[in-house]
Amino acid sequence: MNELYLIRHGKASLDGSERDRGLTEEGHEQAIQIMDIFKNFNQKITKIYSSPLNRAILTITPLSNYLNLEIHVVEDLKEKITGDTSGKNLNDEKQKMWTDFDSKLPGGESSKEATDRAVNALNVMANELENNEHAVVQCHGTLIGLILHHFDSTFGFSDWKKMTMPDIYKLVYDNNTVVIEHIGCDSIETFKIGD
């Protein structure tokens, strides 16, 4: 039995490219608070994986430094590529991605494509762990929502909208089963996209 802790990054800056955007001052504080959450865990974290996007790496860096663990950057953990939203209602497009997993905007990827790459990456990570090892996986809200939907088809658009920034979910890999547990960030003042 192995466990992966999926972490949604802290509050992100809107400045810069999708790949380079960092964290706000609040986001940097949340990164330290995430480290504090894991300091109090009974399980020993043995590996850290992260999306290549800057806001994800910045969120997990305090924990990486505290545990003295390398951050393994995994390209397939990047956020779902939305594509060109010109002339589109972004909220409508976000809702559509939860009902039509094959639809995509120009230059974007479908929910199915994003889910497949993320779940394949997670399976590799889970297989790399020794029995009863635990790893953290730093990534993004939409991608985490799609991962959760893959393992629990009842998780949908309204559940995704309730996710906070940051947020933490645990995936327990036990033989051929994956069980999801919402850990949350109760000790952190979180942010919701819908706020």
Extents of the domains making up the chain: 1-74, 90-130+142-156
Q: What is the pLDDT of residue 76?
A: 97
Q: Where are the beta strands (DSSP E) in 37-86?
A: 45-50, 71-73
Phi first, then psi, for residue 3 (nearest 5°) are: -130, 135
Closest CA to 9 of 72, 91, 108, 78: 78
Determine what percent of the chain falls in helix, strand and coil, rounding each to the nearest 5: 40, 20, 40
| Cβ-based neighbours of 124, under 8 Å, separated by 6 or more | none
Q: What is the pLDDT of residue 193?
A: 60
| Residue 59, strand partner residues | none
Closest CA to 4 of 45, 35, 51, 40: 45
CA distances from 151 to 27, 30, 99, 110, 194 (A): 28, 27, 16, 18, 24
Which residues of the chain fall below pLDDT 70? 190-195
Q: What is the pLDDT of residue 170?
A: 96
What CATH number has the domain spanning 1-74?
Answer: 3.40.50.1240
CA distances from 7 to 28, 151, 163, 183 (A): 14, 16, 11, 10
Q: What is the pLDDT of residue 192?
A: 65
Q: What is the pLDDT of residue 191?
A: 58
Using DSSP bridges, classify how beta strands 177-182 and 134-139 pair: parallel, antiparallel or unpaired. Answer: unpaired
Give the span between the Cα atoms of 33 and 11, in whole angstroms.
Answer: 12
Contact 10, 59 (CB under 8 A): yes
Q: What is the pLDDT of residue 195?
A: 40
